[in-house]
């Protein structure tokens, strides 16, 4: 009887742990959207140049993407709770610093630090879910994670507009950063009380040379993707990216030598020979290639092509985010019966949504914001069906001892996919828009979205076969 009570207590406790880590994920997601809403106000008050404003967004992504694998591995070594708490604390402090910044360069440095601390915090979320939910409750847990992703997007759009417009206490845009501080304090207090402690893995330490080499390689790869458009894609930009690929290839060889010497590589090399995991990462790349770039293209099309005001353009995405949440809830139930097939169904529905969008714009030259919001709900539902169970499916073959490294590789792949999509599809959209029209540019971008999502679906199908 005592064992039954203990088991029930442990089961209840892991759901509280889930609530804590997804609260941190929610804070991270809201921050990404809320800052974008506040950018025009930040630029005006700090007298920041266009390059500085782009850097406020890009430097955060670079810091996060280049360090997230290292953050995940630190969780494997020192325990997910310890690194998670350190990440949340750092994210809260650096958010405070961002809100107190007095110039564009200072805000850029603060955002660099904020992205680095996010790289400690975020991989522990997926690693914790992967470790605690290996049974039948896994689909439900990851569905909740997907719901939080959707709510974070909707909340970021709305909260950013509200805080900047209300100008609470005369704080203006600074409130969008300050809001992270009290949330961070609550999350830390709850984590220290409820999250289980995991002892440090004896005889292990971080592969610092590997971390430095990976950082340099990813920096050379991601930096040009984010800034290439502003630098007119000159020859040296491509040379830097090629150098990044070469450095990452050298990183793999370095990690193999670390393993041969009996050390602990930054990534679990067995993951590179895991067909299901590697195919899953390719699917993740192409899925996210059509993710952030879609929102960029739609925002630019609405504001420049249809002359829809910024606030209304932002609100167009709110119904999409809500259908994303509903789909995330449904995906958990569908995944229990249909497995990873639900991911492929979600990709198909996204393609249908893109087709309806193009047909609407072709039929109605200037569709209204409410009509676009209605049309985009189809895409949002399909995206929610994929994104909620995607991380669970891709990480399902990862060993518990490598949960942090696997989560870090997943996080890095999502950011590279996002950055590459924004660079490539954004370049196509802007080129066609300036040469021809916004409507033709949207059509071309949607064709690329369909291609990318279709490739993702193919690799998800191959991943499914490998898992079987």
What pLDDT is recorded for position 95?
92
What pLDDT is recorded for position 6?
38
List the end-to-end C-alpha distance of the chain, in Å, as a whole number: 38
Q: Answer yes or no: is pLDDT of 164 > 60.
A: yes
Report pTM.
0.76
Predicted confidence band at 70 (pLDDT cuts at 50, 70, 90)?
confident
Q: Answer yes or no: is pLDDT of 204 > 70.
A: no
Question: Which residue would you say has higher pLDDT here, 78 or 336?
Answer: 78
The string of pLDDT tens digits covering residues 417-459 is 887 887 788 778 878 887 888 888 889 999 999 999 999 999 9
Contacts of 260 (CB under 8 A, 6+ apart): none
The string of pLDDT tens digits covering residues 244-271 is 889 888 888 888 888 777 777 777 777 7
The string of pLDDT tens digits covering residues 216-228 is 887 887 778 767 7
What pLDDT is recorded for position 316?
79
């Amino acid at each position: 009887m005592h064992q039954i009570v203990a088991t029930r207590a442990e089961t209840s406790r892991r759901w509280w742990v889930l609530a804590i880590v997804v609260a941190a994920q929610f804070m991270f997601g809201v921050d990404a959207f809320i800052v974008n809403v506040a950018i025009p106000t930040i630029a005006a008050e700090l007298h920041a140049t266009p390059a500085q404003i782009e850097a406020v967004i890009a430097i955060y992504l670079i810091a996060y993407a280049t360090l997230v694998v290292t953050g995940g591995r630190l969780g494997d070594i020192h325990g997910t709770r310890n690194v998670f708490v350190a990440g949340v604390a750092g994210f809260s402090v650096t958010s405070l610093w961002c809100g107190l910044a007095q110039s564009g360069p200072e805000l850029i440095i603060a955002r660099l630090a904020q992205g680095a601390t996010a790289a400690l915090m975020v991989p522990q979320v997926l690693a914790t879910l992967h470790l605690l939910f290996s049974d039948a409750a896994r689909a439900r847990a990851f569905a909740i994670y997907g719901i939080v992703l959707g709510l974070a997007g909707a909340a970021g759009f709305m909260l950013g507009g509200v805080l900047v417009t209300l100008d609470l206490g005369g704080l203006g845009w600074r409130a969008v950063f300050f809001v992270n501080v009290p949330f961070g304090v609550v999350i830390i207090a709850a984590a220290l009380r409820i999250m289980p402690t995991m002892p440090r893995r004896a005889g292990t330490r971080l592969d610092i040379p590997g971390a430095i080499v990976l950082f340099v390689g990813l920096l050379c790869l991601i930096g040009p993707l984010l800034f290439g458009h502003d630098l007119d894609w000159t020859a040296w930009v491509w040379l830097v990216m090629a150098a990044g690929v070469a450095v990452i290839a050298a990183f793999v060889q370095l990690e193999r030598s670390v393993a041969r010497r009996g050390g602990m590589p930054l990534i679990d090399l067995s993951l590179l020979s895991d067909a299901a995991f590697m195919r899953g990462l390719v699917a993740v790349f192409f899925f996210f290639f059509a993710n952030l770039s879609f929102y960029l293209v739609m925002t630019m099309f609405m504001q420049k092509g249809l002359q829809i005001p910024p606030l209304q353009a932002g609100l167009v995405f709110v119904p999409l985010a809500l259908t994303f949440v509903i789909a995330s809830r449904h995906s958990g139930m569908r995944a229990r019966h249909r497995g990873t097939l639900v991911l492929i169904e979600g990709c198909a529905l996204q393609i249908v949504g893109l087709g309806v969008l193009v047909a609407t714009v072709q039929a109605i030259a200037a569709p209204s914001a409410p009509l676009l919001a209605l049309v985009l709900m189809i895409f949002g539902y399909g995206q929610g069906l994929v994104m909620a169970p995607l991380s669970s499916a891709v990480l399902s073959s990862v060993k518990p001892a490598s949960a942090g490294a696997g989560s870090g590789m997943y996080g890095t792949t999502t950011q590279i996919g996002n950055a590459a999509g924004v660079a490539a599809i954004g370049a196509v959209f802007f080129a066609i828009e300036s040469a021809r029209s916004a409507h033709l540019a949207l059509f071309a971008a949607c064709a690329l979205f369909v291609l990318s999502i279709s490739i993702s679906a193919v690799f998800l199908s191959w991943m499914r076969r490998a898992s079987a």
